[in-house]
Structure formats: C-alpha cells, structure tokens
Structure 1
C-alpha cells in the first residue's frame, strides 16, 4: 500500500471534515408543495431520530447519519422522494423561504456564503440535525449561542 505525503493527508482530512460536499449541480424540488400534514409528519419523524449516532456519509438508522443523510432519509421515508445528497445541492433545492415564515418540515441551512450544514425545522425555534463526528442526531435551538451566529437559509419543498 502506497503512503500519501503529509500534505496529501492534510488535504484529504480537510475535504472529509465538513458535512457538505462542494458539488454544484442541484436538481429542483418537485413543484407539488408539501401539505401542512406532510410537513408536520416530517418534523415528527426527524424528532424520532434524535440519539442516532453521527457518521460521515451516513444515511441509515443502522449506520448513522450525517446532516444531509438525515434530511434525505426523513424526506425519502415520508415523501417517497429524496432530496439531493449534499448540503451544497440542498441549498438550491426547493423554494427559498423567509426566516420569519419558518414552519415545521422546512430545511434549515447554515454557513457564511455557501451553506455547510443543514437540519430540519421542527417548530418553536428548534431543529433536528446530525452535528459532528462523535456526536449524535440532536435537537437544538436556532437562537442558541452557536447557531444564532450562523447565516441561516430556509428551503421548503
């Protein structure tokens, strides 16, 4: 097995450290909007996954989730169609929504410039997400000390 030079290892680690890939092609969401009932079902399903282990690239309950894998799993199981796999693609999926119009089931995306993290809004200022290596899917507040400092984008299917 060939060993990589130190700089190549650092580059590989940097590429794998974030939740989001930098792929740029993104399909659009289906034009049929989710009903309020479907949106609430998505939020309830996401809440049921709190405590599932984080795993980079993960998209199953058995294997764990990263942030975009969690979103794909929940939307696929409740809508029958999966959104794109990466946060970069999710940032162009569905329709943009003003933050003051957030509703359960909306995707929340974080990051300055191009988003690098995402979750599912579940109401009352809270969202479910898979935050980081060694962690697990959890419920956090948008107005919490860390998340309130992040740029927030909202997308709705």
Structure 2
C-alpha cells in the first residue's frame, strides 16, 4: 500500500526530500494525525546509517574512497556508520571482524551484508530490506540500491 502524504508549503524542500528518503528505505516517519502506535524507527543507529548511505545515491565508486562525494564499498559503510555515531574500521574484512554475526532471519535494515569468496570477505553493503542493499559496487558504477545477487553472504550487526 502506498500512502499519499500532502506536504504543506511551509515544509522546506529538504524536509520533504528527507521524508521521501525515509519512505524509500522503508522507515516510518511521524505524520500529523497518524496513530500513536506508529513508531519512529529512524532513531536507531543502523537506520540512521542506512539513511545516510541512501542519501549518497549516485555518488561515484572510487577505489579507496571514503566520502563525502566518492566511495568504495567499505568506505560507504564506514561513512554511513560514522555519521550515525558508530565508527567502523576501513576495510570490508575489518568491518566483518568488528560486527556481531546474525542470521538472515534476524537481519534488520541497516545491518551489514558481507559477500564471501574463496579469499574471504570481498564486499560489504547495508541491508535495506526485501533482499536489497545500498552499496558502492565497482569501478564505473555509483552508489545504488540493488538486489543481493548471491547466497554467499553473511550478516553482521554493528556493535
């Protein structure tokens, strides 16, 4: 179900864009007149990190870059979590070692998704829900939302 929200003129464009970003990553926002049981999931560190990663949509991939305008995969996750108040190490493998392993059934938006190959962890992104991640894929691409393309992944919750 898609909810249509009328945004009053007094709301700034930036506020409207922020609300749309929250909606795009699957969060909830407080809307005047909404029921009191609607929770503001945007307050968790993981959700803040996810929102920050999503706000970088379209930023170019550059190997070794950690923002604010260019990213590689672990640079994006590091940047997003630092902005949410949780520092992470620089590489995907070091981030893997810093997180608490969780099962696929217990993953939530903003958890880290680690991709494994024969040489270990080679890629990382932020879980966005519905089998998708925000990530910086590879040279020649940009930060984007994409379906998880393999079963060779594990999940980690940032401590």
Q: Which runs of 5+ in 1 are unaligned?
A: 1-34
Say whether residues 1:130 and 2:131 are aligned partners: no
Alignment equivalent of 2:94, drawn from 89, 94, 98: 89
Q: Which runs of 5+ in 2 are unaligned?
A: 1-41
Partner of 2:13: none
Q: In 1, Cα distance between the equivalents of 2:64 and 2:117?
A: 22
TM-score under structure 2 length normalisation = 0.68
Say whether residues 1:120 and 2:121 are aligned partners: no
Contact kept, 8 Å, 1:54 with 1:136, in 2: the verdict is: yes
Q: In 2, Cα distance between the equivalents of 1:61 and 1:52?
A: 9
After superposition, the CA RMSD in angstroms is 1.6
Partner of 2:157: 156
Higher relative contact order (CA closer than 8 Å, sequence separation 6+): 1
Matched position secondary structure for 1:60: coil
Write out per-residue CA displacement over residues 120-142 of structure 1, whole angstroms, 9 at most, x where no aligned residue: 01122211010001111111112
Q: In 1, Cα distance between the equivalents of 2:127 and 2:53?
A: 9
Instruction: Report how many residues are paired.
Output: 116
TM-score under structure 1 length normalisation = 0.69
Contact kept, 8 Å, 1:44 with 1:122, in 2: the verdict is: no
Write out per-residue CA displacement over residues 65-120 of structure 1, whole angstroms, 9 at most, x where no aligned residue: 000000110000111x3211011111211200001111011000002241100000
Cα drift, residue 36 of structure 1: 6.4
